[in-house]
Chain A
Amino acid sequence: NAGVTQTPKFRVLKTGQSMTLLCAQDMNHEYMYWYRQDPGMGLRLIHYSVGEGTTAKGEVPDGYNVSRLKKQNFLLGLESAAPSQTSVYFCASSQGWTDTQYFGPGTRLTVL
């Protein structure tokens, strides 16, 4: 039981490049989330999903897209990376609306 895993752990991009971050959970959770953490700020919700095939915007969705084609996977895409997207990205999942969120180890992304 690996919990929540994230791929890759580190990535460096040039401005304008695209990439996809993968989050996988093996707990059969309905809800999945993508957060970003920046220095001097708390984690902020980018997008979330309340079930397979559904996605919704969080607090800071601009510049990102997500997809939840399979229940266990939640993908975060950057179509045209910008230096402002340099951050640590965390994925999380939970079973229900108010249940504890379990976090992955994070992906450190640098956009030059």
Chain B
Amino acid sequence: DQQVKQNSPSLSVQEGRISILNCDYTNSMFDYFLWYKKYPAEGPTFLISISSIKDKNEDGRFTVFLNKSAKHLSLHIVPSQPGDSAVYFCAASGLTGANNLFFGTGTRLTVIP
């Protein structure tokens, strides 16, 4: 059973506009959330994270929002650039126990020049 879900397999946005990628989770024990970015033929690379004690974390053009009551997080990219075109994976873990990341199925973002 998929504990982390990304319901949109793909997203297209115009360059310069905002990209919003969504992620839902089911396990209330998750307390640490991450976004990874993956280019073809490469491994995922860490993008940004947020712990459950926060509801927002910002790093340059990337902001992650966490809504614990809704078990929902989102990644905002502003402004979107063609180089942002990649597959984005949401992941979650509990800080207790193994560093076992549970990944979503990914959203393919295409930024159109």
Contacts and interface: CB of A to CB of B under 8 A. Distances in A.
Contact of B101 (A40, A43, A50): A43
Given A4-B43, A42-B89, A42-B103, A48 B2 contact: no
A22 to B, nearest CB: 15
Contact of A92 (B32, B43, B105): B43
Interface residues of B, number: 25
Interface range for A: 20 to 34
Contacts of B100: 45, 48, 58-59
Interface stretch (A12-20, A65-73, A77-85, A95-103): A95-103
A98 B43 contact: no
A57 to B, nearest CB: 10
B112 interface: no
Contacts of A44: 103
Given A94-B99, A98-B32, A43 B89 contact: yes
B42 interface: yes
20 contacts: A33-B99, A35-B103, A40-B105, A42-B2, A42-B4, A42-B102, A42-B104, A43-B101, A45-B100, A48-B98, A50-B98, A59-B100, A59-B102, A90-B44, A98-B95, A101-B46, A101-B101, A102-B46, A103-B44, A105-B43
Interface of A: 4, 31, 33, 35, 40-45, 48, 50, 56, 58-59, 90, 92, 94, 97-106
Interface of B: 2, 4, 32, 34, 36, 41-46, 49, 89, 91, 93, 95, 98-106
